[in-house]
Amino acid sequence: MKPHRVSYVDGRASAAKESVGVMASFRDIFTLFRESRREAALLGAAASVLIILTTFSFWLSHRLEDGSRTGAEMNRYYGKLGRVARMMRTVESSQRGYLLAGTEQYLRPYNELHSQLVPRTKSLIESAPSALEEKERLAVLLNLMMRKADEMAATVADATNERRDATIARLKENYGVKLSEQIEENINALQDEATEKREEIETNAAELREIKTIVDVIGGVAVLAFSFLSIWFLMKSNAALTKAHKALEKTNNDLEDIVRHRTAALQRANDEIQRFAYIVSHDLRSPLVNIMGFTSELETLRKELFERLEKANALADADVLSKDFDEAFGFIKSSIARMDRLINAILKISRQGSRPLHSELIEAKALVETVVSNVAHQIREKDGRITVGDLPPVLSDRMSMEQIFSNLIENAIKFLKNDGHGEIKIEGYLRGVDVVYSVSDNGRGIDPRDHQRIFELFRRAGPQDVPGEGMGLAFVSALVRRLGGSIAVESALGIGATFKVTLPGTAAQNRGIAA
């Protein structure tokens, strides 16, 4: 046993070294990822600064555009005010020329423009810029313009109707001159305000342009700096990714080596277990054979001994003693037979573990019907029936499938009730890429506490009134696991049991089958 212990210690040391190497590789990878996160945070901060600068630059551009629009609006309004003032002076000059000369040709400008004075003044109110503060002057201007227009219309009417005295009297009052002066005064005030606003806007625009220039320069420098920073981070990240890729590759190789070593170790352990089972079974059978041989010789000697004793009349109760001998020999033989069955079961499981599996497409329904025909006499003795439903085909090992169904069906027959209503159902269906087969019976059932126990070797559940050694379900469980599947039971006392076998549907999934 010492070599095994040394091998185990060496294996643990090797596994520890491999684990340390793998953990070191993973630590390197995690360190690289942490560095990448820091670089990403720096780039995010740089991008945030760039976004802020860009947003501020856009805001400055928007302010400049607003100022430019307001300045242009003030320029246009300044021009409108000037045009209204010139129109009023033209109409007034035409009026005075007519009054002085009395010639109709002087009235031509008056007739063309007089009617437009008030509407043009109203349009000044309607189109006044929002930045204009002295808007109350516009109402005053409109009132003055209306009075001026009425005054000029009255003097022209008096002159046309040859009421010279009335006309001269109006002129002497200087009423029209005062109105003109007030109109000019208001228009000049409005133009001055428009000029001030325009100059203020231009001053602000110049300041904003200076600020925008500074921001644009800073932004350009930031873009260049961030570009170089990004390139540096990119180069560093590429180097880190290359390093991480190499670390992952090394880790994968290490894991592959570990899996290879562990698989080889498991294979060696499995081979040792199989050899151990074979040796134990062989060594146990050898004394059994000797015991059986000596028991047979003892039986022969017993006959000769009792024949001699009867002839010699030396033993009166020879018949009683003969029965005791027969009973003892019966116990010995039954124990030997049971031990032989147990050893054969161990050998059977050991041989199944080393038998190569061969994958083929199996029509499960036909296979199960063959198994059912082989146990037909057993089901007739129980006065029961077996129903085989639609079973999907499976890619698996035929011999293993036959042994699985044979053991499950025979096990179900054993525990059917002897009341003529025993029934066994065999069904199957697809669940994703897996195939599920179920064997159900309405027998005495299994206590839920024994659901795991029944799959252990030499373990049985419930009353021990049915022949058996507790090996069938353990054998089935070993076969199913070797095929890459699983087995489970659903049962309760008095309601029967359902055994479900789940197998991979394809050879690629079936880990235990060699193609």
Q: Which long-range contacts (CB under 8 A, 24 or more apart) does 292-297 make?
A: 292/333, 292/336, 295/329, 295/332, 295/333, 295/336
User: Residue 383: is its pLDDT beyond 50?
Assistant: yes
Domain range annotation of the chain: 269-352, 356-504
Quote the pLDDT of residue 395.
92
Contact indicator for 397, 483 with CB cutoff of 8 Å:
yes
Element holding 438 (H helix, E strand): strand 434-441
Token pair recorded at residue 18 = 């491999």
Residue of 166 and 423 predicted with greater confidence: 423
Quote the pLDDT of residue 215.
79
Confidence of residue 53 (pLDDT cuts 50, 70, 90): confident
User: Residue 3: is its pLDDT beyond 70?
Assistant: no
Element holding 497 (H helix, E strand): strand 497-504
Three-state DSSP at 404 gives: helix
Q: How far apart are CA 167 and CA 155, in angstroms?
A: 6
Residue of 331 and 440 predicted with greater confidence: 440
Confidence of residue 443 (pLDDT cuts 50, 70, 90): confident
Three-state DSSP at 360 gives: strand
Confidence of residue 4 (pLDDT cuts 50, 70, 90): very low
The fraction of the chain above a pLDDT of 70, given in percent, is 71
Q: What is the mean pLDDT of residues 75-92?
A: 82
Residue of 502 and 91 predicted with greater confidence: 502
Confidence of residue 369 (pLDDT cuts 50, 70, 90): very high
Quote the pLDDT of residue 440.
93
Q: Which of 6-15, 128-137, 361-370, 447-456 has the lowest mean pLDDT?
A: 6-15
User: Residue 446: is its pLDDT beyond 60?
Assistant: yes
Three-state DSSP at 392 gives: coil
Q: Give pLDDT tens digits for 138-161.
A: 788 888 888 888 887 877 777 777
> Burial letters for 451-470: b for 16+ Cβ neighbours within 10 Å, e otherwise?
beebbebeebbeeeeeeeeb
Confidence of residue 107 (pLDDT cuts 50, 70, 90): confident
What is the average pLDDT value for the chain, to the nearest integer? 75
CATH topology for 356-504 is Heat Shock Protein 90 (3.30.565)
Quote the pLDDT of residue 354.
62
How many other CB atoms are there within 10 angstroms of residue 58's CB atom?
A: 11
Quote the pLDDT of residue 276.
57
> Burial letters for 311-342: b for 16+ Cβ neighbours within 10 Å, e otherwise?
eeeeeeeeeeebeebeeeeeebeeebeeeeeb
Token pair recorded at residue 400 = 């293993």
DSSP3 helix / strand / coil % (the chain, rounded to 5): 75, 10, 15
Q: Which long-range contacts (CB under 8 A, 24 or more apart) does 103-108 make?
A: 107/156
Q: What is the mean pLDDT of residues 454-463?
A: 68
Q: Which long-range contacts (CB under 8 A, 24 or more apart) does 16-25 make?
A: 18/254, 18/257, 18/258, 18/261, 21/254, 22/251, 22/254, 22/255, 22/258, 25/247, 25/248, 25/250, 25/251, 25/254
Token pair recorded at residue 392 = 């999907």
User: Residue 318: is its pLDDT beyond 70?
Assistant: no
Task: Output the pTM of the full model.
Answer: 0.42
Q: Which of 201-205, 289-293, 314-318, 381-385 has the lowest mean pLDDT?
A: 314-318
Quote the pLDDT of residue 14.
47
Closest CA to 351 of 396, 398, 400, 394: 400
